[in-house]
């Protein structure tokens, strides 16, 4: 051994560990740039500890300090990256759900307009083959067809322009088939698309029903109506009064007929009561209209129960004999059009 080496040993230095001290410093500096790669900080710290007894102790100490700081920064950066990714995923999922809610609102608005106007082909009185933009514009604003004003079906509660919010959604796909009772609105990844199965509104109900098996049900005072032949009697356990109800086999579609001596009660009062009950039950998009049913001026109330995706349409009118008459249909968005048409065309107080 040389005298210098012996002297270094006495002072606690080990020149063989110089490279470890320098390596620690280099790794720590590089780790600043590559913070998320925490392995560099760990290696820099380990080499720094081993290099503390070298001649280049200053490099080792610097390497240890910088590695520790870089490690803390790296952990913070990793947490930030993970948090941002999670937030981005949650935000996108929220936007997707918002689009699904918008689709229901738009579908409900189309159902409401067709139900009021009988414009089954969505021409809006102009013989149009409308685009999605034109449909949304009319449903949101006001427009006149003949001598009647329609519109205002879409509110500003969700979005000012009712365009999709999610990044992957670039438009709406709107499918309308009034004869089959289908209105479908879904977010699209391929831009806007409108498909309207043309409905021949000159075709009378009897002709249209030739291919559908129907039966006529009802009682005196309650009224009579045609329903599909496979429907069965339905008893609502929550209703104590005597009413007439039939449903399909799944109990998703239910028709109700009721009548009672009204006294001073008028149809508008009944309609207001129906509206309030629907609000209490969680219905949205509730609308009212004044329509004809069985040649009687009737108040009509309708709305969507979003949790069950069921639309309820109810009519109320009072006859000269003092009876109040109530008719309602609740069904899915796919079937409600056809059933409403069946009621409007076939309901009568006479068998």
List, in order of start, the domains of the chain with CATH numbers.
3-79 (no CATH), 97-197 (no CATH), 207-346 (3.40.1000.10)
State phi, psi for 148 to the nearest 5 degrees.
-115, 145
Angle, alpha carbons 311-315-316 (nearest 5°): 145
Task: Report how far residue 146's alpha carbon sits from residue 185's, in angstroms, rounded to the nearest whole number.
Answer: 27
- According to the model, what pLDDT value does residue 157 have? 53
- According to the model, what pLDDT value does residue 180 have? 62
Measured CA to CA in angstroms, residue 332 lies from 145, 189, 336 at distances of 28, 25, 6
Helices 57-117 + 336-346 axis angle, to 10: 10
* Residues forming a β-bridge with 196: 176
Nearest to residue 196, comparing CAs of 108, 106, 109, 135? 135
- According to the model, what pLDDT value does residue 190 have? 85
Which residues, 6 or more positions from 338, have their beta carbon under 8 angstroms from its beta carbon? Answer: 179, 180, 181
Which residues, 6 or more positions from 193, have their beta carbon under 8 angstroms from its beta carbon? Answer: 132, 171, 172, 173, 174
Exposed e or buried b per residue across 33-65, where buried means at least 16 C-beta atoms within 10 angstroms of its C-beta = eebeebebbebbbbbbebbbbbbbbebbbbbbe
- According to the model, what pLDDT value does residue 98 have? 84
- According to the model, what pLDDT value does residue 241 have? 83
Task: Report how far residue 51's alpha carbon sits from residue 33's, in angstroms, rounded to the nearest whole number.
Answer: 23
In the 8-state DSSP scheme, what is residue 202? T
Task: Report how far residue 257's alpha carbon sits from residue 218's, in angstroms, rounded to the nearest whole number.
Answer: 8
Task: Report how far residue 342's alpha carbon sits from residue 339's, in angstroms, rounded to the nearest whole number.
Answer: 5
Place of tokens 């109506």: 225
State phi, psi for 289 to the nearest 5 degrees.
-150, 160
- Tell me which residues of the chain have a pLDDT lower than 50: 1, 5-10, 158-159, 201-212
In the 8-state DSSP scheme, what is residue 155? -
């Amino acid at each position: 051994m040389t005298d210098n080496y012996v002297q270094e040993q006495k002072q606690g230095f080990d020149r063989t560990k110089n490279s470890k001290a320098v390596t620690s410093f280099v790794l720590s500096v590089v780790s600043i740039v590559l913070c998320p790669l925490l392995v560099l900080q760990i290696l820099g710290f380990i080499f720094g500890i081993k290099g503390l007894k070298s001649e280049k102790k200053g490099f080792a100490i610097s390497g240890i300090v910088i590695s520790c700081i870089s490690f803390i920064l790296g952990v913070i950066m990793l947490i930030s990256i993970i948090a941002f990714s999670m937030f981005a995923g949650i935000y996108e999922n929220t936007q997707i759900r918002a689009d699904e809610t918008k689709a229901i609102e738009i579908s409900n608005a189309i159902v409401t307009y067709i139900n009021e106007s009988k414009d089954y082909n969505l021409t809006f009185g102009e013989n149009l083959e409308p685009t999605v933009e034109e449909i949304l514009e009319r449903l949101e604003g006001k427009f006149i067809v003949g001598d009647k004003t329609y519109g205002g079906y879409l509110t500003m509660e969700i979005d000012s322009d009712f365009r999709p919010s999610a990044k992957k959604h670039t438009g709406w796909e709107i499918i309308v088939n009034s004869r089959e009772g289908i209105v479908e609105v879904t977010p699209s990844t391929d831009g806007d698309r409108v498909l309207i199965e043309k409905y021949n509104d000159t075709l009378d109900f009897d002709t249209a029903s030739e291919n559908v098996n129907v039966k006529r049900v009802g009682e005196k005072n309650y009224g009579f109506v045609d329903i599909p032949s496979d429907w069965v009697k339905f008893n609502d356990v929550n209703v104590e009064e005597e009413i007439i109800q039939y449903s399909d086999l799944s109990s998703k579609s239910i028709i109700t007929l009721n009548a009672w001596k009204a006294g001073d009660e008028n149809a508008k009062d009944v309609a207001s009561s129906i509206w309030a009950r629907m609000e209490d039950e969680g219905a949205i998009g509730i609308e009212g209209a004044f329509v004809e049913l069985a040649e009687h001026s009737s108040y009509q109330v309708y709305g969507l129960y979003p949790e069950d995706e069921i639309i309820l349409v109810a009519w109320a009118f009072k006859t000269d004999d003092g009876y109040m008459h109530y008719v309602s249909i609740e069904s899915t968005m796919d079937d409600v059009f056809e059933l409403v048409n069946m009621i409007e065309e076939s309901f009568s107080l006479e068998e």
